[in-house]
Amino acid sequence: MAKNEVAILGVGMHPWGKWGRNFVEYGVHAIQAALKDAELDWRKVEFIAGGDTMRNGYPGYVSGATFAKAMGWTGIPVMSTYAACATGAQAMEAARTRILAGMCDVAVVAGADTTPKGFLAPAKGERVLDPDWLRFRLLGATNPTYFGLYARRRMDLYGATEQDFAHVKAKNSRHGVSNPNARYKKVFSEEEVLASNMVADPLRLLEICATSDGGAAVVLSSLDFAKRHGAGDAPRVAAISTITPTFPDTYIDMPAFSTDSAAGIPSPDRGFKDSIAHAAYEEAGLGPEDLDLAEVYDLSSALELDWYENIGLCKPGEAERLLRNGDTTIGGRIPVNASGGLGCFGEAVPAQAIAQVCELVWQLRGQAGERQVAGARVGITANQGLFGHGSSVIVTK
């Protein structure tokens, strides 16, 4: 048993889509679903960690208190956190830390978002010291612009093709078609993907994730509480990685315009994206060879291939072979994005790292229906938040 384990008693989600309602509604729905799944009353919860959303006014900046009020004030401590796409993992880490410190037995972690139409963009206003604002103002670099650059880099370095990127989308569409929480429930062929409009060369419309509304929540507890509650066999959080880059960071990433120079200082042994999952493996005492499945951050279908290598499923340049051999498809050696991934969900930023954990829990319980990965006992999530936020969670049974 890893020393930092906590139990996952319940998980819940509000389906992804474009519902046009207040984000609090999605968060409350997810919390209620997670509590029902855990067979717990809200009044038993001793701490709530909320993932903030920047697009829903002041309540979105204090999501912990916003959700606590919506559920009914009980006097419990709250916290709110924002780490872009890593927000959910940071909120989970706060709840886990409080449980491990002996300050509470049961905690709820929740995130929800209501997104605008079109690209996610910085808040309005003249903010000349904000790199995220500057990349739009000076470069016109929307998120898909970066996704396209990453994809082109992969093609130049490793010989990836547009057919490979289309293959990822087609695979994930088959995985997600039966997922009741997915926004897009349609199977696409590679030919249909390649026939969709070009957005950011070489990426096409069907290869770039949308912006979505949605919510997700988990109920965490100490192992002792789980046993007393009759849930001693509940899936467990074995590790959470929320690391940052190490200087010099020689791989360009949003929202940066350039990399650090390594002319006078050696580059770290392991780059930032490689180090995210590595830190989780180190904490859990596990490795890539122990995994049964992975949920990774496919902002674009091409980016999924990078994550194969970043989480150690293969060496650099070998991701396309894994994909073409069917290793990352359900039924293959290590299914990736059995949920359908962001290609089927879209981005609901503070909820998506939590949603990845929800999928792992359903898989480890054997409750994933048509997308079930047979015999799943160990899974990992991986994503990355803007401004150097790592996010990886290992869940075991």
- Degrees to nearest 5, angle at CA 211 with 205 and 214: 135
Residues contacting residue 291 through CB under 8 Å, at least 6 positions apart: 313, 334, 378, 379, 380
pLDDT score recorded for residue 5? 97
Residue 251 and residue 276: Cα distance in Å, rounded?
14
Residue 313 and residue 309: Cα distance in Å, rounded?
6
Block means of pLDDT (10 residues each) for the chain, 397 residues, are 87 97 98 98 98 94 98 98 97 98 98 90 86 90 93 97 98 98 98 98 97 98 98 98 95 88 92 97 98 97 98 98 98 98 97 98 98 98 95 97
Q: Rounded to whole angstroms, what are the CA distances from 128 to 25, 31, 137, 264?
A: 35, 38, 9, 29
Strands 203-204 and 198-200: antiparallel
pLDDT score recorded for residue 1? 47
157-164 CB contacts, 8 Å cutoff, 24+ apart: 157/317, 158/316, 158/317, 158/319, 158/320, 159/317, 159/320, 160/302, 160/305, 160/319, 160/320, 161/320, 162/194, 162/202, 163/190, 163/194, 164/302, 164/305, 164/320, 164/323, 164/324
All structural domains of the chain: 6-118+213-235 (3.40.47.10), 131-206+238-396 (3.40.47.10)
Q: Rounded to whole angstroms, what are the CA distances from 270 to 200, 319, 373?
A: 29, 18, 30
How distant is the alpha carbon of residue 132 from its chain centre? 20
Which of 254, 185, 214 is closest to 347 using CA atoms? 214
251 neighbors 267 (Cβ within 8 angstroms): no
pLDDT score recorded for residue 118? 81
Residues contacting residue 317 through CB under 8 Å, at least 6 positions apart: 157, 158, 159, 309
3-class DSSP assignment, residue 169? helix
Global pTM reads 0.97
Residue with tokens 């889509």: 17
Which of 71, 162, 170, 173 is closest to 112 using CA atoms? 71
* H or E element that contains 345: helix 341-345
Residue 159 and residue 137: Cα distance in Å, rounded?
33
